[in-house]
Structure 1
Amino acid sequence: MREHDLPLFAWQPPCKVILFPLLSRVGRIRDVASKMLDKATDRHADYYRNQVTEALLRQLDRVGVPEHEQDEHLGAFWHAVQDEMIRQCYSRVAGGNDPRGAA
């Protein structure tokens, strides 16, 4: 038996997909939050939320993320969207109270 015929040299470690965290997709979070705030009714917002959720689930499923991890990523993403919506609401309100405005 030769040295290079040993199974140890032919062994390859299993590949693992490392996902870019949904929490770090700041542009996507801001875009979704802005669109959610622009929806006229709760029904429209729920429909848009379902569309985004389904698209993210398809993307996570396509790259092979296990289902329990998908739930964690989605929960964190929607929590970040909610935080961004609150931030955008406060910035819109604060933008209207500019003391340097026309008198």
Structure 2
Amino acid sequence: MDGYGAGIWRGWPRFHTPLRTGERRCLTHVEDTVDAYRQPKDGDAAWYPLAVWPEPGGFLPFANSIDGDYLGWLAQSGDPDTWPLIGWPRHAHQGPPLDPA
């Protein structure tokens, strides 16, 4: 975000502006996404294994793709710089957080 800012990159991932106000703000994206994750999780926890923000270690989405995939952090500690990046794929099983190396 520091280097490129928010927006849609090359027509695929959409990064939401953290401090934007109005209808399409980041908080609206977060609320809508965690609600969408929580609903099917209640019926099939095996496909939706992540805790949901603001739960400890919960999935906190910050971007999505045109294909319905989501990118986010696992809010695991008090320091956001240490939160692992994870994807919520639309048509695949949940994988582990991405390796930062």
Q: Which has the higher contact order (CA 8 A, sep 6+)?
A: 1
Q: Which has the higher helix share?
A: 1
Q: Which has the higher strand share?
A: 2
Give the number of the structure whose alpha-carbon radius of gyration is greater: 1
Does the TM-score normalized on the shorter chain lie above 0.5? no
Q: Report the TM-score when normalising by structure 2.
A: 0.31
Q: Report the TM-score when normalising by structure 1.
A: 0.30
